[in-house]
Structure 1
Amino acid sequence: MQTHEIVRRFTDHFTAAGHTRVPSASLILDDPNLLFVNAGMVQFKPYFLGEVPAPYPTATSIQKCVRTGDIDEVGRTTRHNTFFQMAGNFSFGDYFKAGAIEHAWTLITDSFGFDPERLWATVYLDDDEAEQLWRRYLPAERIQRRSGKDNYWDMGVPGPGGPCSEIYYDRGPEHGRDGGPEADEDRYLEIWNLVFMQDVRGELSPKLGHPPIGRLPRPNIDTGMGVERVATLLQGVENVYETDLVRPVIARAEEFSGRRYGASTEDDVRFRVIADHARSGVMIIGDGVTPSNEGRGYVLRRLLRRIVRSARLLGVHEPVLGSFAEVVRDAMSPTYPELVTDFERISAVVRAEEEAFLQTLTAGSRIFDTAVAETKSAGATVLPGDRAFQLHDTYGFPIDLTLEMASEAGLDVDRERFTALMQEQRTRAKADAAKHKVGHGGDGSVYRALLDTHGAVDFLGYTELVAEATVIGLLVDGVPAPAAREGDAVEVVLDRTPFYAEAGGQQADTGELRGASFTVRVDDVQAPVAGLRVHRGTVTAGEVSLDAAVVAEVDRSRRLAISRAHTATHLVHAGVRGALGPSAAQAGSLNAPGRMRFDFTSPGGAVAPAALAEIEDEVNTVLQENREVEAYETSMDEARRLGAMMLFGEKYGDRVRVVDMGEYSRELCGGTHVGRTGEIGMVKVLSEASIGSGVRRVDALVGLDAFRFLSREHLLVSNLAEQLKARPEDIPERINSLVERLRTAERDLDKVRADAVLSSAGALAEGAEDVGGVALVAVAAPDGVGGNDLRALAADVRGRLGSRPGVVALFSSDGEKVAFVVATTAAARDAGLAAGKLIPAFAGAVGGRGGGKPDLAQGGGTDPSGVPAAVDALRAHLRAR
């Protein structure tokens, strides 16, 4: 049974049973604790947590998921995958255990045709109810009780949880020993987990044996069936890599490499890495992520580069990512048709990243060669772990490629030191992530409690900037408090508010909350959980308390300036897409008072200045037309029909808000905007630049800020014109002429200085001393000589020493550091005196190091006062040879 057929039958089974079909959410959701969606229930978390009511009693979905915690194990085993699909059915207070078990059994035995005699079930150790329900379908000996570690589920934080029941399929004795899942989970393969969400978990998890602190008033069902695992069984193959959606990628890699999957253990690892990561990479890019050096972008970059690296280890050196992406598109598009419509952008991203990485490999190889040379010149056989880490962390050079190349060079790598540095990096990353958890409430439980008690906050800010409200929540230092006094930093929650919470690139409102005897200055507004708006600021007068009546007033001028910037961002987005095509997808934005920033994918590289000028002109033409800016709510289906732009990574419900400026711009957006485009006044693009591989950024000023900028620019041009005695339009030519004259003067000056330096070569050569039969010139160079001049002087002095064995060592200091160059004549080299090998004899005296070729080497140190000692050390070395 093909995978798409499995997906179809699963969906049909549950929709026929009255479940609402919910499309897969984006892999990127607004959850600070998740890089990517990693389970089928993630998009339903607000319903399970009670943050918002579920819009349907039951639902079913096929959710795309990415888990990267075991990325290094992918390929080494057949069990680890980064991308997978999780089929699930969900009940929000509707059916419970009996219904979940019946739905699952009917599907897998009737629709999928699994042999009931080969099915097993596990239940939580004290879940008598689940065991009795399973006895309707299975004999007691094929139902096993397991501990909370295996059969209890929660979210890892206080909140809903419950026992679960897992369904296993017996693959047969050739896959392992008898005894059910408890004995061997390779033979008995888990295909489905049914979570009976009935408990309220406290600080300590029942997974570890701690009792729940209560029961949910309405129990829920959350299930997850691994689509790829079921496909493995129904297609009669050994593992997921041999299923119909994955094997084609391996086949393409076989075509490129001329090697065969299954012929070599090492090659099989590489084939599996390519197959897994190609699927993950395409799906992640499809949801709007682009390669970068942090967060999701870094994970994506790592996945794509592991593909390229694996292909190279298979002997493939030409670009491959575009071709692998095509295979993934063709295999996955029946379930995810957006891969076809977005493929131009996806393809451009992977090709640009591969090109960049191939350049990295070239640069990294040069750094690696230098590190090998230094290691060998020091007489060592182990490449330092610090250098391996530098190659990995700074240059993106994969560690296993370093290991392989080091082996070819006859060196080992200090893996212990490398691993320690990697662990330090991970520790820093975890600490940084912890610091950036949602709000001051840590895991958000304080905010969720407020939401549970009072419900969602009513947002009035689309139509009002001043409103009366009541304080329903008050936090000081993240802890609920009954009151706060003057000078206290507070978080205030109101039952209704005109304040916009930071979201969608739009900065938060600021303003004041005023009561009968107090004032709170609002500096920031956040939405730490969906439905809640938290006003953060300082009590500037009096004492604010719970249940107090307030007048909430937004800073009007700031809000209007931000709204102008936000509307301008939509227009710039439309202009960029019009000029560059659909591959220019929004990748981020900032809407602040008087300025805006728009990030977009541009795999083709920089936007030409002429194109940027046309975009700016087009946007300002739309402003002059003073088009109406209409905001309205509609259904998602209607928004799609209207062609409204939907931003990657945003989660949209059945009802969406559209900001409409006619055919020029129509986007889904929850931000605030002007009423007509003419209110923006002016948009002035300041710059366009790269902020990462395939991602560009446009910075612009809006409204009065744009006018003031142009006024300053006009004054500057006028002053330049006066100073240069030229018309404004002639200024560029006049400046070019001045720059060229300056360059000519600098070249003449360099020549004079070089002649002066070289003029001292004769005197230095004449002063050579005989040390052990070697003509030695070891002195501080004349003042002002350094860099290239120092090397040129050393080479000239060496040339004047004639055919005798000669060594030239020149030192140059700027007072804080010292540089040195060593040059040797041919006769000296014949006598075994190589410039690079002489440096260790004296470099320690100046606190330095260096290296180079036998004829010319160089280095530097941190102790200029040690130059005399360095000269003495070199003399002693030559005498003792």
Structure 2
Amino acid sequence: MLTAEIRSRFLDHFAARGHTVVPSAPLPTPDPTLLFVNAGMVPFKPYLTGEAPAPWPRATSVQKCVRTLDIEEVGRTTRHGSFFQMNGNFSFGDYFKEEAIALAWELSTTPTADGGYGLDPGRIWVTVHHTDEESAALWRRTAGLPEARIVRRGDEDNFWSMGVPGPCGPCSEMFYDRGPAFGAGGGPEADEDRFMEFWNLVFMQYERGEGPGKSGYPLLGELPRRNIDTGMGLERMATLLQNADNLYETDETRPVLDRAAALAGLTYGRDPEADIRLRVVADHVRTALMLLADGTAPANEGRGYVLRRILRRAVRAMRLLGHEDPALPELLPVARDRMAPGHPEVAGEFARISQQAYAEEDAFRSTLKQGTTVLDTAISHIRAEGGRSLPGESAFLLHDTYGFPLDLTLEMAAEQGVEVDREGFTALMTAQRERARADARARKSGSAGATALTGAYRTVLDAHGPTDWRAHDTLSTDSTVQAVLGADGPLPVAGEGGIVTVVLDRTPFYAESGGQESDAGHLTAASAEAEVLDVQRPLPGLVVHRVRVTAGELAPGDTVRAAVDPEWRLGARQAHSGTHVLHAALRQVLGPAALQSGSYNRPGHLRLDFPWRGPLGTATRAAIEQTAARALRGDLPVGVRWMPLTEARELGALALFGETYGERVRVVEIGGAWSRELCGGTHVEHAAQIGVIALTGESSVGAGTRRLEAAVGIEGFGYLARERDLVAQLCEQLQAPSAELPDRVAALLERLKAADRQTAALRERATLARAADLAAGAADVHGISTVTATVTADGEPGTDARALAAATRDRLPARRPGVIAIGTVAGSRATLVLSVNEAARQAGHSASALVKLLLEGKGGGTDGTAQGGGITPDRLTAVLHDLPHALTRD
């Protein structure tokens, strides 16, 4: 049974039993504790924790998930991958243990001809928490399981919580016996390779208090509404139903693995080490495809860094398998074809996906060359010093800066007969992981209610309900202050000059989201004034205002007039609509691959990020700007419609990455289908109200990602006026019409280059002349031709100390040891350059050692040339005078 059918049977089974089918959320999640959705329950977390009421009593989904905490173990174990899909059914205070167990057993054991998975009931084992006799009894009664196949386990295995105070409860896991070929008998306790877990049923019925993550915390009592959260691993079930050895050999992954093996000229199953690398490639290519499809772009931090690391590991693995050519153009289309039946977006967005992936591979291949050069240089130094081991710090630098995994460094070092300090490398990696885990723990605890302010937000929301948000309807409301919050929680009053957070029962202020900055404005009470500095949504349904009290005192219960600055809102609307127009123009000129991956807009300014390889060029930018201008000149109508998410997708509305959408979405159209996007921002009524969109810059913000910036509205007209004035000034200074400016400026630049070349030639001749004089006047110090001189860094010919030292050295007799010391004075600072010829080096003299000796450890370089600084001109004079003595001590 193919994975796509396993998925559809799951959803059909639960839909037929009253569950609402909920589409998978995008992998990037707004949850501040996570980079990506890492479990099927994450999108339902607000409903399971009681932060928000559930829209349905029961639901089902197949959720995309990514886990990368132990990415180095991918391919080494056969049960875990970095990307996986979690089939889940959820009850929000509706059914509980009995129905959850019955539903899971029914789907698992119903014959395939009748819509089930057809698993042999006699080979299913379950585990329950050792205190959960109710579940054990249900398994005996509902499924007919004998006591011998019901295993009792402790908190570590069969009690679930999020690791922080909140809902928790026992869980029950289902395992399938794959037979003696996979390991020893005796149930899950004996061998979890043979007895593969495929379904976990979590019974949320208690509230836990503070304490360690897995056990040792107090249970505070029963939840008012008990919930069900289950997760059936789609890849695990595919492994079972396809009689595959492991999840890498199922229908969605094995074709990528086979193509990688063919490219490398290998046969899977013959070499254990090669098999691990092939599994890494198969897993990582699929994971990268899904992350790119959901809008994650390669970057140097956060989600983008995770994606970059996954892509680079795949490319490195192919290199270690012996494939030197670009691999992703061969592998990514295979992953697309296998994933498209369940995730059609990977096919629809493949132009953009492939462009970003291939650009990242090209960039990394270049980086790989740089890293190889760094490694070769480090090994050369080690050999020169008589060593045979690469320090752990060097291996870690290659890993952390150049993306070299340890196995690649080990392989390349071994080729040159050098070992690697693995213990030192491991210690540095362990320290880095501990820092990352500590950061994750801090983020997790911070977002789970440990801060007083977060708790205060929840208290206000529980007491008063969601904010009546009217930003789309009006610029002012009469509102009541529900709470005034300081850094540590509620305040009875905020006095003049205080900066506090205010919660209102209703508000006209737009809260920052979707790339649009929050509104500015004022709160006016009978005896108080406050300036609104920022507006945010810390919890679903709650809008809060960061304000500065400019007069009087503000307290809970006060009636205020909340008013948005109309000029600010107008500018914000122009900028946000301008972003939509520029996005549509960009796609019209460059094609559908140029899909917005990030944006920011505020009054008068917008920026838009999109995947693209290389600069756009003047002509392309002009075409984009002109396409946008035509939309403004045509005064395209701007319309807003609410509709189900499925209908919006059928219409072709663009769902932008990093945003979270509900079942009903707001679609903003400019000129109908010309621009149609899901958006919650504020907009103009007609395109002409934007005024003007003037591109002000284009830049790179990472490999394969470009950024356009533009001035909008009155600020856009101001930008164009300044550009016009600048051109007029240049025309006046150069005495040329504007059309001739490029040629005039090009001619001036060529004249400057010619003058620079002439100056460089003069400086070189002057340096050579002075070098000849210095060489002729060399002193004999213990059989060494010694030259000392001082130059002033005033830009005059002959003052390049390194060039002068090298030229003087070359004019000394080749067979006689020679040492040249040139000091440079620049104001109150001085530097020293020291050079020795080959004869001096053979006699045991080193420029680097001499500089360190003369400057008391400062400076460094090679045996031939070295440099040091940080001294005064007086000290330089003494150093040059001390050179003859240093030669006897070197």
For residue 808 of structure 2, what is the aligned residue in structure 1?
Answer: 797
Partner of 2:512, secondary structure, is coil
For residue 820 of structure 1, what is the aligned residue in structure 2?
Answer: 833
Partner of 1:250, secondary structure, is helix
The Cα shift of 1:442 comes to: 7.1
For residue 362 of structure 1, what is the aligned residue in structure 2?
Answer: 369
- Mean alpha-carbon deviation: is it higher for 562-571 or for 518-527? 518-527
For residue 188 of structure 1, what is the aligned residue in structure 2?
Answer: 195
- Mean alpha-carbon deviation: is it higher for 308-317 or for 637-646? 637-646
Partner of 2:407, secondary structure, is helix
Which residue identity does 1:678 align to in structure 2? A
For residue 765 of structure 1, what is the aligned residue in structure 2?
Answer: 775
For residue 629 of structure 1, what is the aligned residue in structure 2?
Answer: 638
- Mean alpha-carbon deviation: is it higher for 193-202 or for 796-805? 796-805
For residue 589 of structure 2, what is the aligned residue in structure 1?
Answer: 579
The Cα shift of 1:705 comes to: 0.8
How do 1:155-194 and structure 2 match up within 5 A? 155-173=162-180, 175-194=182-201
Q: Does 1:616 align with 2:625?
A: yes
- Mean alpha-carbon deviation: is it higher for 573-582 or for 752-761? 752-761
CA spacing shift, 1:817–1:342, aligned 2, 3 Å:
farther
Q: Does 1:374 align with 2:381?
A: yes
Q: Does 1:690 align with 2:700?
A: yes
The Cα shift of 1:22 comes to: 1.7
Separation in 1 of the partners of 2:405 and 2:882? 41
For residue 729 of structure 1, what is the aligned residue in structure 2?
Answer: 739
Partner of 2:575, secondary structure, is helix
Partner of 1:684, secondary structure, is strand
The Cα shift of 1:488 comes to: 3.2
How do 1:497-646 and structure 2 match up within 5 A? 497-602=507-612, 604-646=613-655
Q: Does 1:486 align with 2:499?
A: no
Computed over aligned residues only, the root mean square deviation of the Cα atoms, in angstroms, reads 2.8
The Cα shift of 1:588 comes to: 0.8
For residue 811 of structure 1, what is the aligned residue in structure 2?
Answer: 822
Which residue identity does 1:341 align to in structure 2? G
Separation in 1 of the partners of 2:313 and 2:881? 52
Separation in 1 of the partners of 2:811 and 2:218? 89
CA spacing shift, 1:814–1:384, aligned 2, 3 Å:
farther
For residue 466 of structure 1, what is the aligned residue in structure 2?
Answer: 476
Is the 8 Å Cα contact of residues 693 and 716 (structure 2) preserved in structure 1? yes
Pick from 286, 306, 311 the counterpart of residue 293 of structure 2.
286
Q: Does 1:675 align with 2:688?
A: no
Pick from 239, 243, 251 the counterpart of residue 236 of structure 1.
243
Structure 2 gap ranges (5+): 111-115
CA spacing shift, 1:482–1:172, aligned 2, 3 Å:
farther
The Cα shift of 1:296 comes to: 0.6
Is the 8 Å Cα contact of residues 840 and 849 (structure 1) preserved in structure 2? no
CA spacing shift, 1:614–1:631, aligned 2, 3 Å:
same
The Cα shift of 1:574 comes to: 0.3
Is the 8 Å Cα contact of residues 767 and 807 (structure 2) preserved in structure 1? no
The Cα shift of 1:744 comes to: 1.9
Q: Does 1:39 align with 2:39?
A: yes
Separation in 2 of the partners of 1:442 and 1:84? 36
CA spacing shift, 1:480–1:799, aligned 2, 3 Å:
closer
- Mean alpha-carbon deviation: is it higher for 131-140 or for 542-551? 542-551
Which residue identity does 2:84 align to in structure 1? F
Partner of 1:256, secondary structure, is helix
CA spacing shift, 1:866–1:118, aligned 2, 3 Å:
farther
Separation in 1 of the partners of 2:91 and 2:205? 12
The Cα shift of 1:649 comes to: 3.3
Q: Does 1:412 align with 2:419?
A: yes
Separation in 2 of the partners of 1:733 and 1:449? 68
The Cα shift of 1:140 comes to: 1.9
The Cα shift of 1:465 comes to: 0.9
Separation in 2 of the partners of 1:617 and 1:876? 73
For residue 476 of structure 1, what is the aligned residue in structure 2?
Answer: 486
Separation in 2 of the partners of 1:445 and 1:228? 39
CA spacing shift, 1:473–1:431, aligned 2, 3 Å:
farther
Q: Does 1:57 align with 2:53?
A: no
The Cα shift of 1:692 comes to: 0.7
Q: Normalising by structure 2, what TM-score?
A: 0.92
Is the 8 Å Cα contact of residues 156 and 214 (structure 2) preserved in structure 1? yes
Structure 1 gap ranges (5+): none
Deviation digits for residues 218-258 of structure 1, max 9, x if unmatched? 21111001111222222233321222222222211111111
CA spacing shift, 1:541–1:747, aligned 2, 3 Å:
same
Which residue identity does 2:120 align to in structure 1? D
Deviation digits for residues 334-359 of structure 1, max 9, x if unmatched? 11111111111111111111100000
- Mean alpha-carbon deviation: is it higher for 777-786 or for 648-657? 777-786
CA spacing shift, 1:74–1:385, aligned 2, 3 Å:
same
Pick from 385, 390, 394 the counterpart of residue 387 of structure 1.
394
Is the 8 Å Cα contact of residues 159 and 169 (structure 2) preserved in structure 1? yes
CA spacing shift, 1:191–1:741, aligned 2, 3 Å:
same
Is the 8 Å Cα contact of residues 201 and 229 (structure 2) preserved in structure 1? yes
Q: Percent identity?
A: 51
The Cα shift of 1:786 comes to: 10
Deviation digits for residues 203-222 of structure 1, max 9, x if unmatched? 34794143332332221111
Separation in 2 of the partners of 1:844 and 1:259? 57
Partner of 1:739, secondary structure, is helix
Is the 8 Å Cα contact of residues 824 and 834 (structure 1) preserved in structure 2? no
The Cα shift of 1:119 comes to: 1.7
Separation in 1 of the partners of 2:343 and 2:336? 9
For residue 124 of structure 2, what is the aligned residue in structure 1?
Answer: 119
The Cα shift of 1:706 comes to: 1.2
Deviation digits for residues 720-745 of structure 1, max 9, x if unmatched? 22222222222222222222222222
Deviation digits for residues 163-212 of structure 1, max 9, x if unmatched? 21111223345544554334443443221110112222333479414333
CA spacing shift, 1:86–1:200, aligned 2, 3 Å:
same
Is the 8 Å Cα contact of residues 480 and 504 (structure 2) preserved in structure 1? yes
The Cα shift of 1:763 comes to: 2.4
Deviation digits for residues 431-481 of structure 1, max 9, x if unmatched? 777579669947944323332332221211111111012222332114133
- Mean alpha-carbon deviation: is it higher for 159-168 or for 580-589? 159-168
Which residue identity does 2:616 align to in structure 1? V
How do 1:133-144 and structure 2 match up within 5 A? 133-136=138-141, 137=143, 138-144=145-151
The Cα shift of 1:105 comes to: 0.8
How do 1:71-470 and structure 2 match up within 5 A? 71-110=71-110, 111-136=116-141, 137=143, 138-173=145-180, 175-204=182-211, 207-422=214-429, 425=432, 434=442, 441=451, 444-470=454-480
- Mean alpha-carbon deviation: is it higher for 728-737 or for 345-354? 728-737
CA spacing shift, 1:305–1:339, aligned 2, 3 Å:
same
CA spacing shift, 1:69–1:352, aligned 2, 3 Å:
same
Is the 8 Å Cα contact of residues 529 and 552 (structure 2) preserved in structure 1? yes
Is the 8 Å Cα contact of residues 440 and 478 (structure 1) preserved in structure 2? no
Deviation digits for residues 735-776 of structure 1, max 9, x if unmatched? 222222222222222222222211122222223344554x42
For residue 789 of structure 2, what is the aligned residue in structure 1?
Answer: 780
The Cα shift of 1:300 comes to: 0.4
For residue 661 of structure 1, what is the aligned residue in structure 2?
Answer: 670
Which residue identity does 1:155 align to in structure 2? M
Separation in 2 of the partners of 1:877 and 1:379? 25
Is the 8 Å Cα contact of residues 845 and 866 (structure 1) preserved in structure 2? no
Is the 8 Å Cα contact of residues 70 and 80 (structure 1) preserved in structure 2? no
Separation in 2 of the partners of 1:90 and 1:443? 30
Partner of 1:675, secondary structure, is coil
Deviation digits for residues 90-128 of structure 1, max 9, x if unmatched? 112221110000011111122222222222222223222
The Cα shift of 1:833 comes to: 4.4
Which residue identity does 1:260 align to in structure 2? T
How many equivalent residue pairs? 873
The Cα shift of 1:5 comes to: 2.7
For residue 113 of structure 2, what is the aligned residue in structure 1?
Answer: none
